[in-house]
Amino acid sequence: MVKQGRKMRTRKTVSDSETPALRNRSHSSINGDDDLDVDIDPPPTVPVHRVTQGSTHSGITSIDTHSPYFLHSADHPGLVIANQNLDGTNYNNWYIAMRMSLDAKNKIGFVDGSLVRPDANDPLSKIWSRCNSMVKSWLLNTVNREIYDSILYYEDVVEMWNDLYSRFRVSNLPRKYQLEQFIATLKQGNLDLSAYYTKKKTLWEQLSNTRITTARRCNCDHVKELLEEAETSRII
């Protein structure tokens, strides 16, 4: 009788809120030989969160790391992505450095116009706007104060990019003349051959980047002859 009483106390410790599986376990304990008087609490329910590719949160689609809309945790508006600061006389060097940096961050589409602004009701509209503002900040961080004030009020970064191109890339005839004068008057002097060649080659590369239009790549024999002739002129 004592043994049965202890089993009955065990049965009373099981609350009505317990799961059916726990009730079956307690019932089997009453009918079996286990006479321990132990209170058993059910395990807490832990919510499980699963993140899948293409899932949405608050109407925003998850962004793949290879997407131009992806922003790394290290990306912020104060980031300086190029070591060239545009002052109006070094546009060609600034342009090349910025394109490399933007390409590395997969944001070229925002400056060349290939990634246009989505419609306002498009799910990607807010993400595009955020990336556009980020690239605008990066651009503003690499220009001097006078240029900064003149492009600050543009809505899209492609407008800022095209404005800088029209002002400093196309109107660069004085810069071209200056580079040609530097090339013509540069002497080796006290420079060793390696330093002299590097300085001369830099001037040639800067001069070649002052051209307004870019020719298509061509591997025909006539173009090869022209390139060889230009290289011979550089050597002379």
* Any domain includes 16: no
Which one of 169, 196, 211 terminates a domain? 169
pTM of the model: 0.57
Q: Is the dihedral of CA 140, 100, 235, 222 positive or negative?
A: negative
Q: Do 77 and 163 reside in the same domain of the chain? A: yes
Can you give the pLDDT at residue 28?
46
Q: Do 214 and 145 reside in the same domain of the chain? A: no
Q: Do 102 and 126 reside in the same domain of the chain? A: yes
* Any domain includes 90: yes
C-alpha–C-alpha distance, residues 183 and 187, integer Å: 9
Q: Do 96 and 151 reside in the same domain of the chain? A: yes
Grade residue 29 by pLDDT with cuts at 50, 70 and 90.
very low
Report whether pLDDT(13) > 80: no
Per-residue H/E/C for 41-82: CCCCCCCCCCCCCCCEECCEECCCCCCCCCCCCCCCCCCCCC
Can you give the pLDDT at residue 53?
37
Q: Are 132 and 157 in contact (CB under 8 A)?
A: yes
Residue 175 token pair:
């810069």
Can you give the pLDDT at residue 212?
54
* Any domain includes 8: no
Grade residue 48 by pLDDT with cuts at 50, 70 and 90.
very low
Which one of 169, 198, 221 terminates a domain? 169
Q: Do 163 and 87 reside in the same domain of the chain? A: yes
* Any domain includes 229: yes
Can you give the pLDDT at residue 211?
67
Query: Domains in the chain: how many in total?
Result: 2
Average pLDDT over residues 209-227: 67
* Any domain includes 99: yes
What kind and span of H or E run contains 104? Answer: helix 91-104
Q: Do 124 and 102 reside in the same domain of the chain? A: yes
* Any domain includes 131: yes
Can you give the pLDDT at residue 88?
83
What kind and span of H or E run contains 25? Answer: helix 20-31
* Distance of alpha carbon 115 from the chain centroid: 14
* Any domain includes 107: yes
Q: Which domain holds residue 87?
A: 73-169
8-12, 65-69, 94-98, 137-141: the lowest-pLDDT one: 8-12
Q: Are 88 and 147 in contact (CB under 8 A)?
A: yes
Which one of 153, 169, 185 terminates a domain? 169
* Any domain includes 178: yes
Q: Do 77 and 164 reside in the same domain of the chain? A: yes
163-188 pLDDT, tens digit each: 998 888 755 677 788 888 888 888 88
Average pLDDT over residues 8-17: 47
Average pLDDT over residues 73-83: 93
82-96, 158-172, 206-220: the lowest-pLDDT one: 206-220
Q: Do 93 and 161 reside in the same domain of the chain? A: yes
120-150 pLDDT, tens digit each: 999 999 999 999 999 999 999 999 999 999 9
